[in-house]
Amino acid sequence: MTDPPPERARSVGRRILSPAIKTLFFLGVLGLVGRSLVDALGRVRWDDVEVGAPALAASVAALVVARVLVAAGAHALLRSRGVEVGFGRTLAALWASGLGRYLPGKVFGIGWAAVLLARSGVRTSLALALLGWNSVLMIATGGIVSAAVVLAPAAGMPSEIRALAGASALLSILLVVRPSWALRPASVVLRRLGREPLETNLLPRAYAAAVVANVFQHVAAGISIWLIGVAIGRGDLEALPAFVGAAALSTVAATVAVFAPAGLGVREGVYLAALGPSLGAEAALIAILARIVQTVVDIGAAAVGMALGRGGGRGDRRSGGAAPTDAAAG
C-alpha cells in the first residue's frame, strides 16, 4: 500500500485540524463566559427581579425591525449593482437562511441566501459578493456605532481604549466611504484564483441607503437590548447609548468570531464586559434574556421567510446585475 502524496496528506490534516481547533476555541470561550454568567447570576437578588412582559414583547419587536433593516441593507446593495429584486424576495431569502448562522463557520447562511436569490434570477456569484459585502458593512458600521459610545466622555474609558476605538472607527469610516479600497484588492485575489472578480462600481444613492440601513439596524438592536433592561427595571433612558454601543459591539464580535455559532458565548461575554460595570450582576440576566429573544426572533423570521419564499416567483427585472449608469461610489 502506497503512502498518500504529501500535498494530499497536508490537505487532509488541515481539514481535520481546523475544525478541531475552532471547536476547542469555542468550548474554551463558552466555558469562560459560562462561568462568569453563573457567578454573576449567583449575585442577582432574585426577590427583587420582575420581568415586565410588555417591555420584553417590545424588545422582540425592536429586534424584528433590526432584522428588516439588515434585509433592507442587502436589498440596497443589490440595487447598487442594478439588480431589481423585490424587497420581499430579498427579505425572504435572508430570513429563511438566517438559521445558517447557528452552524459553525457562518458561511452557510450567506451561501443559502445566495442560492435563494439565484432562484429570482440573480447571479449566484454576484449575490455572494454583495451579501458578503453587506456583512462587511455590518461590521464596519457596528465599529463606528460602538466607538461613538466608547469615545463619549461619560463612558469613562481609559485613554488606550479610547485611542483604539478611535482608530478602528476611522478605518471603518474609510472602508464605508471608499468601498473600492477593499473591493479592488479582493478582485485581484479572485482573478489570481481563477474566480470572477467583484464589481467595484456601485450606484451612490443605493449604496448610501445600504450604509444607513446597517447603521440603524445596530440602533434598533441596541433598543431591543435596552428594552430588556427596562423589562427587569434596569433600563434608564440615559443608559440607552450604552446599550446601543454594547449591542453594536456584540454584533461585530459575534460576526467576526466564526468559530461561535450565532455568536454563542461571544455576545454574552461582550454584554458582561460592556454592561457589567454599570449594571452589575443584572448584566448576566440581560445577556441570557437577549439570547432567548434573539433565538425566538431568528426561528420566527426563518418560518416567515420560508413562507414568503414559497409564494414568490421570479420577480426581478434586471436580475443579472446590469452595470450602473450614473456616477459610481468608491
Question: Residue 12 has what pLDDT?
Answer: 47
In angstroms, rounded to a whole number, what is the distance separating the alpha carbons of residues 49 and 68?
32
Beta-carbon neighbour count of residue 58 at 10 Å?
18
In angstroms, rounded to a whole number, what is the distance separating the alpha carbons of residues 55 and 60?
9
If 0-12 CB within 10 Å is exposed, 13-18 middle and 19+ buried, where does residue 144 land? Answer: buried
Average pLDDT over residues 160-184: 74
At residue 315 the predicted structure's pLDDT band, cuts being 50, 70 and 90, is very low
> What phi and psi, each to the nearest 5 degrees, are found at residue 18?
-60, -50
In angstroms, rounded to a whole number, what is the distance separating the alpha carbons of residues 10 and 180?
35
Q: Can you give the pTM of this predicted structure?
A: 0.84
153 membership: H or E segment, kind and range: none
**What whole-number percentage of the chain has pLDDT above 70?**
78
Beta-carbon neighbour count of residue 57 at 10 Å?
13
3-class secondary-structure state, position 329: strand
pLDDT in tens, 203-214: 888 889 999 999
Question: Residue 17 has what pLDDT?
Answer: 55
Average pLDDT over residues 215-238: 94
Per-range mean pLDDT, top range of 61-70, 97-106, 153-162, 181-190: 61-70
In angstroms, rounded to a whole number, what is the distance separating the alpha carbons of residues 7 and 13?
10
If 0-12 CB within 10 Å is exposed, 13-18 middle and 19+ buried, where does residue 281 land? Answer: middle
Beta bridge partners of 329: 202
Alpha helices in 43-123, H assignment, sequence order: 53-80, 87-96, 107-118
Going from N- to C-terminal start, the domains of the chain cover: 33-311
Min mean pLDDT across 75-79, 201-205, 304-308 is at 201-205
At residue 311 the predicted structure's pLDDT band, cuts being 50, 70 and 90, is low
Question: Residue 176 has what pLDDT?
Answer: 82
pLDDT exceeds 60 at position 321: no
pLDDT in tens, 244-265: 989 998 999 898 888 888 999 9
